[in-house]
Structure 1
Amino acid sequence: MRKNYPLLTSAAFIRFWASDAVSMFGTYVTAQALQVLAILTLGASAFELGMLRAAQWLPYLLFGLVVGVFVDRYRRKPILVGTDVIRAVLLAAIPVSMAADALTIAGLIGIVFAVGLLSLVYEAAHQSFLPSLVPKSLLAQANARLEQTSAVAQVGGQALAGYLIRFAGAPMAILVDAGSYLVSAVLLARVRVDEADISPPPGGRSVRTELAEGWRWVYHHHALGPLALASHAWFLFTSMVSAIYAYFVIRELGFDAGAYGATLAIGGVGAIVGSSGTARIRRNPDTLSPMVWIVDAISSN
């Protein structure tokens, strides 16, 4: 406990951590609720379900580097609060539209794309906001806490989502997520941090110049380059499976929302185990490569 003491006495970090936890739980609830809503309520086909899934991640592919450049030019806290509030409004529009019998699969895809873009902006600001809250010596520990929270949310959020959808309906589950974003925004607004010196002026450099520098730095880096390419491949093939998984489990196997959520929650257990080793890997990074090969070998069988 002594190692955690300085970190856990930081009111700014505690509020940031709490906002992240609330938001992550809500996010995993909605991720599942959207699939169920599209299949059971809107009668989405496998192709339409794939388009819905693609809409969530397409902003990351199209605007990832651009968003990073623009976020670096502004204070992070207003960005985090603003994106939370707007995402809450967009998600609340789903059950409202459904109540008015005006929700279509095309409209749902559009909302998901907008939420995905805002999530990209949020995550870019989120990553660069943390160093302003904790000293460098506690940064790895703080990141480990956030990763562990995300892993727990992946298990708990998806398990909760299944039963919330089953007993209250998918629209209500999505409304819960909208509320979680508002709670997150309130917590973030109460974080006291001085960002005056965090984002210096870009010195007259154009966005194109900064994009080119960022591209070269990431993809020419001896470690980040291969990791980035591996991440791209992982997202591509994982998204292909995820796009049809819900359709297969619900339509073909006849699982209800609770059972579907349980199958997703089981997969999150591995995330908890992995996040618990973050600090140890940081102290001994040479263990990372063998671990990656072991995981790849297991997952390919």
Structure 2
Amino acid sequence: MHASAPEETAAAAPRLAARSRFLSWIPGLLYDTAFRRYWTAQTVSYLGDQVSALAIPLIAVTVVHADAAQIGYLGAAVWLPHLLFGPGAGLWADRRRHRRRVMIAADLGRFTLLIGLPLAYALGTLTFTVLFAVAFGVGMLSVLFDVCNPPLFKALVPPGDYVAGNALGSGSRAMAKVVGPSAGGFLVQLSSAPVALLVDALSYLVSAVFLARIAPQEAPPSQNRVRLRAAGRFIVRSRAIRAALAATATLNFFCFVTTTLFVLYATTTLGLGAGLLGTVLGAGAVGAVVGAVSATPLTRRLGVGRTLLLGCLATPAPLLLIPAAHGSRPAVLLMLVGAQFGSAMGVIWIDITAATLLTSLVPDAMRSSVFGAYQGVNLGMRPLAALLSGALAGPLGLRTTLWIAAAGALTACLWILPSPLSRRALPGGGQEV
């Protein structure tokens, strides 16, 4: 005997309610096909990057037998292009009509470079020079990709969803940091470090395919020949962006000193083994995920500017626990896990709010130019910090240098406090800065 229509409706109601609750957790932007493909391209690429972050240093150590100085050069090779070419690449991108095509070409270029490493390994021609050249080349193409990304993001995301869109991108990056190192370690163990790089190479190919399947209405190229001086002048004259850049550059400089020395300090001074070190670093990845999930409700409550200020406090303050770590092994682990978790959460808040500021306040005609100049200063701090960390740690010691770095990073919030960030509204977005 069949159930009557009212009975069928009553039986289906709980299922429909459960489905509705599940769907309510999916961000609205992911229902848009073009944005979903754009976000998928980013997510796949981030995951591949994390595999390379483990595989390339392992290749340097185990295959080409690089020494400590060469490992430092290899780390700097990825970030130097931001310092050397970021501003110029932004100027060039502002004059391009189809920036999405540039991003696709950059993806295909990175695919070609990375797939060359396992081929060189198979042919017995893999040397440190080849490894350095590939890392530098990938860094240059990443600069081109990055400066073309803000106009594409602006074309895909409505003004009221800037925070949510940036949160989704940062969430992908955070999840990649959780999954990527484990996947990379498994792939290296299963085959070898050079072969594991095939995953990162293929991730760029997948990213290019997804980007090729969207066709947003991009902003037209700049009719005026924007010069680097004009981009710099815009940053200096915008009190909000000037304060954000000063704060993030200060944080990048001092926090990267900590990043450079942390593994050495944890293993030599605190005596942590590889397993415990992985647990500590994994806490940072979890903190990044929490930061990405909490960013949107936090900015709704505090405003974008106040959330940026909170991030400038939450990022460096936990780092004080690193040089302070002492006592029993559980106490040391608890302090280091707290430092990594809290600091990573703060970094994500900064990434999302700073990207939202740039998207909202920079004119279309100079969007890539300003972004390239901003990132040139901001990320350009990292190779400089890496060099300084070695110079200070020698005469002062690791613990003292880490105290100085954490204290210096805390000064970043001083750039935000007198700025108008928390007292103005984002154009068109209706959100408090």
Instruction: Give the TM bin, normalised by the shorter chain.
Output: 0.7 to 0.9
1:15, 1:188 within 8 Å by CA — same for their partners in 2?
yes
**CA shift at 1:271, angstroms?**
1.3
Aligned ranges 1:60-209 → 2 under 5 Å: 60-74=82-96, 75-195=98-218, 198-203=219-224, 205=225, 207=226
**CA shift at 1:211, angstroms?**
0.9
CA distance in 2, matches of 1:273, 1:107: 38
1:257-300 per-residue CA deviation (whole Å, 9 max, x = no partner) reads x8876654332122112222322343323243244224322212
Q: In the alignment, which residue of structure 1 is the partner of 2:316?
A: 296
Q: Equivalent residue of 1:191, what SS?
A: coil
1:16, 1:191 within 8 Å by CA — same for their partners in 2?
yes
Structure number with higher relative contact order (C-alpha < 8 Å, ≥ 6 residues apart): 1
Unaligned runs of 5+ in 1: none
RMSD: 2.7
CA distance in 1, matches of 2:284, 2:77: 23
1:113-163 per-residue CA deviation (whole Å, 9 max, x = no partner) reads 110010111111122201212322223222211111111111111221122
TM-aligned CA distance change 1:246 to 1:115, over 3 Å: farther
Give the share of equivalent positions with the same residue, in percent: 32
**CA shift at 1:237, angstroms?**
4.5
Q: In the alignment, which residue of structure 2 is the partner of 1:27?
A: 49
TM-score if structure 1 supplies the norm length?
Answer: 0.87
CA distance in 1, matches of 2:264, 2:132: 16
CA distance in 2, matches of 1:164, 1:262: 19
TM-score if structure 2 supplies the norm length?
Answer: 0.62
1:35, 1:246 within 8 Å by CA — same for their partners in 2?
no
Higher-Rg structure is 2
Q: In the alignment, which residue of structure 2 is the partner of 1:218?
A: 235
1:159, 1:265 within 8 Å by CA — same for their partners in 2?
no
CA distance in 2, matches of 1:300, 1:248: 14
Q: In the alignment, which residue of structure 1 is the partner of 2:331?
A: none
Matched, 1:48 2:70: yes
Q: Equivalent residue of 2:316, what SS?
A: helix
TM-aligned CA distance change 1:167 to 1:122, over 3 Å: same
1:281, 1:288 within 8 Å by CA — same for their partners in 2?
no
CA distance in 2, matches of 1:62, 1:299: 29
Aligned residues: 294
Q: In the alignment, which residue of structure 1 is the partner of 2:411?
A: none
Q: Equivalent residue of 2:315, what SS?
A: helix
TM-aligned CA distance change 1:132 to 1:287, over 3 Å: closer
1:68-91 per-residue CA deviation (whole Å, 9 max, x = no partner) reads 121122122101111000100000
TM-aligned CA distance change 1:254 to 1:143, over 3 Å: closer
Aligned pair partner of 2:36 in 5, 8, 14: 14
